[in-house]
Amino acid sequence: MNIEAGQLAVITGAGSGIGRALAVQLSQAGVHLSLCDLSEPNLEQTQDLCRTAASGATRIHIHRADVGDEAQVLGFRDAVISAHGTQHINLLFNNAGIGGGGSFVKTDRTEWERTFNVCWTGVYFGCRAFLPLLIASERGCLVNVSSVNGFWASLGPGVSHTAYSAAKFAVKGLTEALITDLSLHAPHVSCAVVMPGHIGTSIALNTGEVLGHGSALEMSAASVAAVRDRMSRSGAAVSDLPDAEIRRMLQQRAIDFRDKAPTTADQAASIILDGVRADRWRILVGEDAHRLDEMVRSDPERAYEPAFADAWRDGKPPLV
């Protein structure tokens, strides 16, 4: 699909990371924008960046919304219609997501369901709310952001990763099913599923805030104890470290996740937009995503064995 000046794009999770990078690059192309996020200050920063980058008289509308709440998503849709004076959009990026909800067995159900609701139900609500506006356009594209954890439900042995993985598998499944559904009932609308690897975003820093835990530096003693136990079982020598040091380590890990990633958010956005322009329905983002995809496809039966994760971490060829 061509991306052209004067089109209208809707992006969730636009306050940082990939969502912000998509917004800036689309504004450079002269695309009008409606952006939502939970953080209004972050949204305002994105809006300022887009105004600086914008080509021509680009409209940049922001709206605070929790994508896990359907009423708020519908409110965002109504605000888009009002702000732009239109009944159609051209591009929808269901991008918002958080981490958390690691163990189905051990994790608090409220945290598990909150993670799942943002990462999956937020995409579902976004599709329900905005697909009619895409169908009302001459040409539209629906882009749902999944993850490599949408085809590999793991972070390796010793780390539970259930809510996020289940949600991202659901996002992938819906999007793939929509390929046929749209071709039958709205052939002028295409769709794409995006599966990023490790991208330099603030998801690790933002997740605690969304889940109500605050930053890693504000983590409760009970949460620190759970982390200490998990790290000890993974072989880390943390049994004698004070709680404050565990908190500091986790905060630094979140910062390093953002700042030391192999692929930046800007690079990820460029790959995604190039994929949309090329009418690709399956967009892997990052060399690590391509390599992991190859490994899982080559030997799916062993994808959850320790040797698979060891090969992945060590940069070895796919298991044969």
Measured between alpha carbons, how far is 320 from 317 in angstroms, rounded to an integer?
Answer: 9
How many CB atoms are located within 10 Å of the residue 44 CB?
14
Q: Would you put residue 61 in left (φ > 0), alpha (ψ -120 to 50) or beta?
A: beta
**Positive or negative: CA dihedral 167, 171, 173, 174:** positive
Residue written as tokens 């991306």? 3
Instruction: Provide the residue type at 11 as one letter.
Output: I
Instruction: Provide the residue type at 298 as one letter.
Output: S
| Helix count and strand count (H, E) for the chain | 12, 9
Active site residues: 164
How many CB atoms are located within 10 Å of the residue 237 CB?
8
* 8 A C-beta contact, residue 84 and residue 108: no
